[in-house]
């Protein structure tokens, strides 16, 4: 029998009908239940004067709000983005660190893997499953489009990708403006591809780092169970924090860009020109 090096795909533990329940999914739901219980506890014990643990929660929320406002430059948008960005950051951070607890990846059931008897862990870091990271990335990108539509309107948001309105407006400004408008139209079509690339890059970056860390720790534990894995454990704690921060900050950047109108500065300048004349 041998210790199973984590495969790229999360291992199913059992099935509900034809739907597989994987070990990574179990870790993810542990994180969800933790935050639901924590929110219920905070809500129930909340008061006008925060005390004890509530001070810690308030400090964390205030810190995240201040950091978001530094990016948006707008307190109103910062408060609007906080639930999405803050939830993504805390969920990924908690999931990453939860995967470092003793028993994750080492406690499991023996089964057949690739023709050999191997240990199939009951728990696996949630972000080491590409399905989870892909789902979070899709949520982040789709949220930016939904909020962008709500903030600046359908036409302004649509024009960022299919700028037909810019081509019609360029007819009154001369041939150079027409050429520029056609180029901007092409760039907009490329932006559609970039939206798909955002989902791919976000999901693969998080999955790759967490999965690689899980494989590294498994190899170190296989070489020596004591002392040797400890420095790598601290490294993975740092990696978990960095990856959660990067994912959350990229999501914040997408939300900020989506709520800014396309060509706002150029339109503003064109409106000011007659006034100066």
pLDDT at 141 (0 to 100): 93
Report residue 32's pLDDT band, with 50, 70 and 90 as the boundaries: very high
Among 83-97, 109-123, 210-224, which stretch is predicted with the lowest mean pLDDT? Answer: 109-123
CA distance 7 to 120: 10
Q: Give per-residue burial for 45-77: e unless 16+ CB within 10 Å, then b.
A: eeeeeeeeeeeebeeeeeebbebbbebbeeeeb
Is there a domain that residue 48 lies in? yes
pLDDT at residue 180 is higher than 60: yes
pLDDT at 48 (0 to 100): 58
Is there a domain that residue 273 lies in? no
Higher pLDDT among residues 80 and 156, named by residue: 80
CA 94 to chain centre: 13
Phi-psi category of residue 262: left, alpha or beta, with phi > 0 → left and psi -120 to 50 → alpha: beta
Per-residue pLDDT of 33-43, as tens digits, reads: 999 998 888 87
Counting the structural domains of the chain, the total is: 1
Kindly state the average pLDDT of the residues 100-124. 73
Is there a domain that residue 6 lies in? no
Higher pLDDT among residues 127 and 216, named by residue: 127
Is there a domain that residue 2 lies in? no
- Give the residue numbers spanning the domain of 231: 12-263
Among 15-24, 108-117, 189-198, 234-243, which stretch is predicted with the lowest mean pLDDT? Answer: 108-117
Is there a domain that residue 151 lies in? yes
Is there a domain that residue 272 lies in? no
């Amino acid at each position: 029998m041998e210790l199973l090096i984590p495969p790229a795909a999360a291992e199913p533990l059992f099935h509900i009908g034809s739907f597989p329940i994987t070990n990574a999914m179990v870790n993810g739901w542990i994180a969800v239940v933790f935050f639901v219980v924590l929110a219920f506890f905070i809500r129930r014990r909340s008061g006008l004067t925060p005390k004890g643990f509530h001070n810690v929660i308030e400090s964390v929320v205030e810190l995240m709000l201040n950091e978001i406002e530094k990016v948006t430059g707008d307190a109103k948008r910062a408060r609007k983005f906080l639930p999405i960005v803050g939830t993504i950051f805390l969920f990924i951070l908690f999931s990453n660190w939860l995967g470092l607890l003793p028993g994750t990846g080492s406690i499991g059931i023996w089964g057949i893997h690739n023709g050999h008897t191997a240990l199939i862990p009951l728990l696996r870091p949630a972000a080491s499953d590409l399905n989870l990271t892909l789902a979070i990335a899709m949520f982040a990108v789709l949220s930016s489009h939904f909020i962008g539509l709500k903030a600046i309107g359908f036409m302004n948001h649509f024009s960022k990708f299919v700028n037909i309105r810019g081509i019609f407006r360029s007819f009154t400004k001369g041939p150079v403006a027409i050429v520029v408008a056609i180029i901007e139209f092409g760039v907009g079509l490329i932006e559609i591809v970039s939206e798909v690339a955002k989902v791919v890059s976000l999901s693969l970056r998080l999955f790759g780092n967490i999965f690689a860390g899980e494989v590294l720790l498994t190899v170190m534990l296989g070489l020596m169970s004591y002392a040797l894995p400890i420095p790598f454990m601290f490294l993975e704690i740092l990696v978990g924090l960095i990856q959660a921060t990067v994912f959350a900050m990229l999501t914040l950047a997408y939300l900020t860009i989506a709520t800014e109108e396309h060509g706002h500065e150029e339109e503003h300048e064109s409106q000011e020109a007659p006034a100066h004349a």
